Amino acid sequence: MGSWAPIFVALILLSLSAWGLWSIPGDQQTLEANSGEYIPHFVEHFPMDTDDDVPNDDVIRMSWHPEESDLGSLKTNDRYVELGEFSIVEHASEPSSALLHTSVQWSTESSLNITVEVNLTTEIENGILRLIVIEDEIEMFGRTPNQNAVVRLYDPTPIGEGNGTIHRELELGNGLSIDDAHRLQLIVLLSDMMTEQNHALLAMSVPIADNGPTETGHRVSTLMGLGFIILSLGAIVRAEWKREVMLPKLRGGRNSAGEPIAYLKAGRRDLHLKEVRVFPPWKLAKAVRSIDLPAGTEKMIQIQVKPARGEQDILTRIVQTEWSIEVDEMGGWVLDLTLYKDPPT
């Protein structure tokens, strides 16, 4: 099983890659949304301290920071007074008095083009349509939790008493752009500017920049390329694993007389030792006979050397050897081993 583990891992990585590729949203030029027959429950926060925590959950939230703070909005003080000067205002779900159809698209890297169609189901007076852009997961120095639902843009438009369509081109500011789209949300709130009675509300995402292959053909070709790379790496790892466990281990030492000895241990395949060679200034005093070793077994081999012809008064203790070995299913291999002889002569 060990030899196939890299391939299994490669297939898992390929599956994750396929899931990731098909999870990338398509190129969203324009997003559209409709409000419902009920106004959803939503909450407005007025955090006063830097460690106030506004949850990032499934509830629609708006966090109005003081105007003088680094996250402040020009509307905060007015909104705080309009809602009764409470730090948290909960708006219960209730039937809506209008239906809103909203479409959003990026007109530039930092500005949104927003169109809202208002269809009243009940006659209302003093209507005001509020476009509010909020940002989640803002990391700021000096603020312990990340800041969520921060009001980054507020744009009010009176609508009078009838139906109509409102077009707005809004510059985000605060350094925000299409690259921040995944943290932004648009809230469209229709209410009475005098009584603050809510008539309709919807919350929607803004279009996300194209961040990867989104067409089926591009996804398939990308997956094929990733598959080739991942499976190739898996094959390389498997080959290296086989080389590690199938080939023999060869190590050296010395006996009590200081003569070099070698330990040859077969891996997971039987081996056949064909020949042992010694390099000058040494030569074998007694040839090492060829042997066969079953898988997993080990044998100690005595290496008896003497000075090669013409060599006298050898001072080096180093004995360089070369071992020719054949391993079942792995072919022929040559292993080098450095031994030591003490004393040199």
- The tens-digit pLDDT sequence of the chain (345 residues) is 556 677 777 778 778 777 776 666 555 678 999 999 999 999 999 988 767 789 889 999 999 999 888 888 889 999 999 999 999 999 999 999 999 999 999 999 999 999 999 999 988 888 999 999 999 998 877 666 788 999 999 999 998 777 889 999 999 988 999 989 999 999 999 999 899 999 999 999 999 876 555 566 776 777 788 888 888 887 887 777 777 777 889 999 998 888 899 999 998 889 999 999 999 998 898 889 999 999 889 999 999 988 888 777 788 889 999 999 999 888 888 999 999 988 766
CA–CA distance, 263 with 219 (Å, rounded to integer): 54
At a CB cut-off of 8 Å and minimum separation 6, what does 176 contact?
A: 110, 135, 152, 184
Question: Does the reported pTM lie above 0.85?
Answer: no
Q: Categorise residue 193: left if φ over 0, alpha if ψ from -120 to 50, beta otherwise.
A: alpha
162: its two tokens: 């009838």
Q: What is the pLDDT of residues 165-180, one digit of tens each?
A: 999 999 998 899 998 9
Question: What CATH superfamily is the domain 25-205?
Answer: Immunoglobulins (2.60.40.10)
CA–CA distance, 336 with 254 (Å, rounded to integer): 17
Taking CA 133 as the corner, what is the angle to CA 129 and CA 139, rounded to the nearest 5 degrees?
160
Q: Which residue, 103, 100, 117, is CA-closest to 30?
A: 103
Domain with CATH 2.60.40.10 in the chain: 25-205
Q: How many CB atoms lie within 10 A of CB 321?
A: 22
The answer to whether 88 and 55 have CB atoms below 8 angstroms apart is no
The CATH code belonging to domain 247-340 is: 2.60.40
Sign of CA dihedral 156, 160, 162, 168: negative
The H or E element containing residue 23 is helix 5-23
Q: Which residue has 């100690």 as its token pair?
A: 300
Sign of CA dihedral 217, 220, 224, 230: positive
Q: What is the pLDDT of residues 46-90, one digit of tens each?
A: 988 767 789 889 999 999 999 888 888 889 999 999 999 999 999
